[in-house]
């Protein structure tokens, strides 16, 4: 399945841009929906039984992912159970997207497999986790939208929105800028490795207006999709 994923550190504006892009309704956003009179999309409520069915379908087709889950639970330094739950959730969401899109639609995912690679790197010793093996196991997107911003900007956005993504026991709460800088470098590492595997990359320096960033994403997405 041809699909698009977003990647970015906390505070980069990744989810904001993803949501704003969905307003254009040019692509298939499987977990966002518009009701009459809405100015913003609402999350799609997927039933638990459907999530379980989608997970089982995904794992049946990709047995190597089962080994990846086992390795993640064994090698993750922090929050292994939570991480495995996120990886299962991403598998279920991907499978749901496959089943709900029309043949002509391109699916766009906010929290896809490459963002999950960042979740793993955030919780795992870099000397243990093999990013290359992970990327060889998961279904890669055809296009990656890498959203970035300076660490100080990301930190200020997090504080203004009272986000607690970095409120973890292993994170130095007095030096979140340094942590965000590490996460930015992780995103660059993931992007470079994905690019080497043929993933086309759209790089967004999200320091200006949201409208301009969304226009850039829409323009470059259309150009890349039309060229394939």
HEC string of 156-193 equals HHHHHCCCCCCCCCCCCCCCHHHHHHHHHHHHHHHHHH
Could you tell me the pTM of the whole model?
Answer: 0.88
Quick one: 3-30+42-227 is in which CATH superfamily?
P-loop containing nucleotide triphosphate hydrolases (3.40.50.300)
130: closest CA among 54, 190, 215?
A: 190
**In this predicted model, what pLDDT tens digit does every residue of 38-65 receive, in sequence order?**
555 555 555 556 778 888 999 999 999 9
Average pLDDT, integer, range 128-155: 93
**In this predicted model, what pLDDT tens digit does every residue of 188-209 receive, in sequence order?**
999 999 999 999 999 999 999 9
Ordered by start, the domain boundaries in the chain are: 3-30+42-227
Residues 102 and 90: their CA atoms lie apart, in Å, by: 20
In degrees and rounded to multiples of 5, residue 26 shows phi and psi of -85, -20
């Amino acid at each position: 399945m041809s699909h698009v994923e977003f990647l970015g550190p906390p505070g980069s504006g990744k989810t904001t841009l993803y949501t704003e892009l969905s307003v254009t309704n040019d692509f298939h956003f499987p977990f966002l929906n518009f009701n009459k009179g809405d100015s913003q999309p609402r999350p799609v409520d997927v039933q638990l039984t459907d999530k379980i069915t989608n997970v089982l379908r995904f794992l049946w087709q990709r047995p190597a992912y089962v080994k990846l889950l086992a390795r993640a639970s064994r090698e993750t330094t922090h929050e292994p159970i939570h991480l495995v739950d996120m990886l299962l959730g991403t598998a279920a969401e991907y499978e749901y997207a496959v089943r709900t899109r029309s043949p002509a639609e391109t699916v766009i995912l906010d929290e896809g497999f490459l963002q999950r690679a960042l979740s793993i790197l955030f919780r795992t010793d870099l000397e243990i986790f093999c990013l290359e093996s992970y990327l060889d196991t998961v279904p890669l997107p055809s296009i990656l939208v890498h959203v970035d911003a300076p660490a100080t900007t990301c930190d200020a956005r997090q504080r203004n929105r009272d986000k607690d993504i970095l409120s973890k026991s292993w994170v130095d709460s007095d030096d979140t800028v340094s942590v965000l800088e590490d996460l930015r470098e992780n995103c660059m590492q993931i992007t470079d490795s994905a690019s080497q595997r043929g993933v086309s990359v759209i790089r967004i320096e999200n320091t200006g207006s949201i409208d301009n960033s969304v226009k850039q994403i829409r323009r470059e997405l259309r150009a890349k999709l039309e060229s394939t």
